[in-house]
Chains A and B, each alone.
Chain A
Amino acid sequence: MLTKSTHHIAASFSRRGMLAATAGLVLGLASLTGAKAADDTIKVGVLHSLSGTMAISETTLKDTILFLIDEQNKKGGVLGKKLEAVVVDPASNWPLFAEKARELITKDKVAVVFGCWTSVSRKSVLPVFKELNNILFYPVQYEGEESERNVFYTGAAPNQQAIPAVDYLMKDEKVKRWVLAGTDYVYPRTTNKILEAYLKSKGVAQEDIMINYTPFGHSDWQTIVADIKKFGSAGKKTAVVSTINGDANVPFYKELGNQGIKAKDIPVVAFSVGEEELAGIDTKPLLGHLAAWNYFQSIKSPENEKFIKAWQAYTKNPKRVTNDPMEAHVIGFDMWVKAVEKVKSTDPDKVIDALPGIEAKNLTGGVSKMLPNHHITKPVFIGEIKANGQFDVVWKTPGLVAGDAWSKELEGSKDLIGDWVGKKCGNYNVKANKCLGSGS
């Protein structure tokens, strides 16, 4: 028995390499672009997962960049050259993100990279972009506390999504009791820390805040939904602020609907649920639950209508939805094109210096601007879920909100600013008047 099994182990080791290689080959084939390199093109790297857990969200962003490049090439490209996309698949594997980023920059010699979704994937590629001095456009709402020279953050910082959402609930819905529910990783934890500090500064007592974390892909929400119900029956208006990540949301909302928690009793405001996520759920029981974003597909503006039409024609799917991170890529891509045309070069150093101050139309009828801290100005909208899976905007900020790289609510970061124009520093302490070195 014993000798037999050792023999098996030995035999399997000799085959493991081959098997893994075969699996890799199969996956690799799926992500080949097929486009041939040519010298008279400018290469644009696309670093989004096309397989694994994050493929659900990131595949659409890959398509968005391909669409934007296609549109730009129809207009004659940039600096008289056509743009060429180089698509790689980091397969939702964080170390692989760094490897693929290195491959894009050194082997394919791309001028810029659009990519990443999770914060951990962004953190994993940061050293590569710093070392090889290239540009990353990051399109997803995130926890802030970062400002890097090589990264441009076109998604929302906490003060462009979480804080306005809480303000809305406090003022319009008179919410007094808060459940902060999130998936257990860096974005929800940091966001909830910021929100907790903010709520306390507004006079909310500790016992009126309940914080709850669940593992990735959590699917049994019975206990937590019952707990929320219990927490909500203390005679004060209660709301749930959800930083629950993509995949776990469907069972969460299904359980809410089934246990009869209506938005008019306990509203849930989500920061990671958009049109794309709702496409997988029957939204009738969710009527009135909220989401805070900087863009909704339902917003009426000439730019948005034109974009949706072109996007649906490009994807040959008249039902294909649009969402917030897509708009962030639209703005980021436009800003990069404008910066390149301004300095007449794709040299990263020149483009990085040219980007702050560049303005680009967003899809909701305003003009977003790249700030010295590499974040952008955005409007904030609160939308209620409608029965058709779209959002009805019930509130918006009067103007555009400038993204804070460093949260004003946290003790450790309230004196910090990012300024890559005047101070050439990502974390400048305005009290001590000195740069603390690294930007994250």
Chain B
Amino acid sequence: MFLIAFAVPAFAGPFEDAVAKFANDDFSDTDEAIGAVASSGNKLAFPIISALQDGRLMADPDSKKVYVTGSDGKSIDAATGEPVASVPDSASAVRLNNRLRRSVDAALGSLTLQSPDLATRLQAAQSVFKSHEESALEPVDAALAKETSKSVKVALGEARAAILLFKPDATEVEKLEAVATIRARGDQEALALLTGMGDQPALVAKAAASAIGSIQSSLAVWSTVQNAWYGLSLGSVLLLAAIGLAITFGVMGVINMAHGEMVMIGAYTTFVVQEVIRTRYPGLFDYSLLIAVPLAFLVAGAIGVVIERGIIRFLYGRPLETLLATWGLSLVLQQEVRTMFGPTNREVGNPSWMSGAFELGQITITYNRLWILCFTLAVFAILLAMLRYTALGLEMRAVTQNRRMAASMGIATSRVDALTFGLGSGIAGIAGVALSQIDNVSPNLGQSYIIDSFMVVVFGGVGNLWGTLVGAFTLGIANKFLEPVAGAVLGKIAILVLIILFIQKRPRGLFALKGRAVEA
């Protein structure tokens, strides 16, 4: 250890010494270096810290030299700013852990408060709010004096308030003002700040307590809205999974245990599409799902037609055999996929327009859930229109309502059967594309949806698409309001018990079909 310490060449000043610490590959040394570099006022501070954040700060443990590599491939010596021809092979990126990432954020926050870019300034103000270190007060004040944008001004004001709350020698007036500013912000982070500020003068503590109360009660209202949104979102997933079954089971009366596997096949189609895009046309990645939707429909639909022609048509009117045959088929399909793609999860990426979230008031809405809700409703509307307005839809309804009459009117009933089953399976395939965005793509994907799908269709009323829609959203919302109270496990049990009781009372579900078709 001593030898190494002496081997290090003496550097000119404290800045150079601080930079050299990055080469020690020791988290606490790196932490000290970040603090020293950030507060040094040196113009290299920003490039060094932002390089550290992106993993572009390279350190050579042998020579203790540190380099900033640019995205253009050019590098400079971090201590002097001199360009260097190349970074030695022995150098590796300076490692970070969570504590250091917070330090980097705090340091970058104070360094970029006056950046020309509005978004960067806003982000900087927010990181200062989060870290609220006393040393950031001066840069915040300086930035506030120059700031012109209203939103950044508010963010800076909040950051300033956060610093003052934790500054031991701030006056009572300053602290009271700060509490008021934070109270106006009113979100969970504001709450965290106020509850975590520890011992305060009596007046401040009182103001804080009242602010906490007001934020909590407004958050409680928002949490009800949030539960409702989560319920809608869960409902849309249930509906998407069940909609294909509403055709095969609801309209045709086939107890199709392999329905979940059609969903899985749709998800694997998405995987294959993304693999091809990744290797051949990386630019198209954001459109991968749009390409996968029709393909998944065709693949799952074709398999559905083959299943109907090969197995199910021999079993019409024999529900128990159909159940066993399709269940066996589901095992075969699972093992088939396991052999082809392996038993482990396959990665299906989220296109950029489906990643992340936005804030609506105090609730977070994730893009993937929002898109799935829209997509589900669109699929539902198209399916409904198809059954109502197309010739095939008319034939399907005719065959399911009165097969013999339809046949004597010249409809090829067995062809319609195959197409109907294919349609149901194809829609399950489309569901798989959407579900690949929120769930595992593994051979077991389908299993987790089969029970829920049957639950939705039976609850909504067999044979009625609108029933499936209402059933799915009712179950989704009920589940999400029960979950915070009873927990996920008990919530699910409670839902099942409620459905059993409901079916006792109304055996045909929410929207029972009436008329002669039911008796057939």
Pairing of A with B:
yes
Pairwise interchain contact A11-B321, C-beta atoms closer than 8 A: yes
Q: Could you tell me if A12 and B97 are in contact, using CB atoms closer than 8 angstroms?
A: no
**A329-353 residues at the B interface, CB under 8 angstroms:** none
Does B74 count as interface, using CB distance less than 8 angstroms? no
Most buried by B among A223, A234, A235, A247: A223
Question: Which residues in A have their C-beta under 8 angstroms from that of B196?
Answer: 234-236
Which parts of B42-87 form the interface with A (CB within 8 Å)? none
Chain B residues closer than 8 Å to A173, beta-carbon distance: 98-99
Residue pair A226, B318 in contact (C-beta under 8 Å):
no
Q: Which residues of A contact B331 (CB under 8 A)?
A: 23, 26-27
Choice from B98, B193, B320, B367 contacting A288 with Cβ under 8 Å: B98
- For residue A136, give the distance in angstroms from its CB to the closest CB of chain B: 22
B439 touches A250 (CB 8 A): yes
Does the CB pair A9–B237 fall under 8 Å?
no
A interface footprint on B488-505 (CB within 8 Å = 1, 0 otherwise): 110010000000000000
B483 touches which one: A19, A223, A232, A259 (CB < 8 A)? A223
Specify the chain B residue showing the minimal Cβ separation from A215: B489
A218: interface (CB < 8 Å): yes
A280 pairs with B441, CB closer than 8 A: yes
A434 to B484, CA, bound (A): 47
Q: Which residues of B contact A9 (CB under 8 A)?
A: 320
Q: List chain B residues, Cβ under 8 A from A206.
A: none
Bound Cα distance A3, B321 (Å): 17
Q: Are A281 and B344 in contact (CB under 8 A)?
A: no
Closest to A276 in B: B344
Q: Is the CB of A180 closer than 8 A to any CB of chain B?
A: no
Q: Which of B189, B193, B324 has the most CB of A within 10 A?
A: B324
How far, in Å, is B138 (CB) from chain A's closest CB?
24
Contact of B343 with A59 in the complex, beta carbons under 8 Å: yes
The answer to whether A280 and B188 have CB atoms under 8 Å apart is no
Interface size on B, as a range, is 35 or more
B439 surroundings in chain A (CB, below 8 A): 219, 250-251
| B272 CB within 8 Å of chain A | no
Asked if B369 contacts A222 (CB within 8 A), the reply is yes
CB interface residues, B 442-475, toward A, < 8 Å:
442-444, 447-448
Minimal beta-carbon separation of A10 from chain B (angstroms): 10
Q: Is the CB of A282 within 8 A of B332?
A: no
Q: Which of A218, A232, A264 contacts B192 (CB 8 A)?
A: A232
Q: Which of B192, B237, B339, B355 contacts A233 (CB 8 A)?
A: B192
In the assembled complex, B350 has its CB within 8 A of some CB on chain A = yes
* B95, B441, B489: most-surrounded residue (chain A CB, <10 A): B489
Give A54-97 as 1s and 0s: 1 = Cβ < 8 Å from B's Cβ atoms: 01100110000000000000000000000000000000000000
Closest B residue to A49 using CB positions: B343
Cα separation A14 to B130 with both chains bound (whole Å): 69
CB-based contact B234/A220 at 8 Å: yes
Query: Restricting to B143-198, which residues have a CB under 8 Å from any CB of A?
Result: 188-189, 191-197
Q: Does A214 belong to the interface (CB within 8 Å)?
A: yes
The answer to whether B233 has its CB under 8 Å from any CB of chain A is yes
Question: Could you list 20 further interchain pairs (A-B, Cβ under 8 angstroms) beyond the known A23-B331, A224-B483, A281-B347?
Answer: A8-B318, A9-B320, A12-B318, A12-B320, A20-B324, A55-B338, A59-B342, A172-B97, A217-B444, A217-B447, A219-B438, A219-B448, A223-B483, A226-B223, A226-B230, A234-B192, A235-B193, A251-B440, A280-B345, A280-B441
Q: What are the 6 closest A-B residue pairs judged by CB atoms, nearest first? A: A235-B196, A280-B345, A12-B320, A235-B195, A233-B192, A233-B188
5 contacts between A and B (CB under 8 A): A8-B321, A55-B338, A226-B226, A250-B439, A254-B438
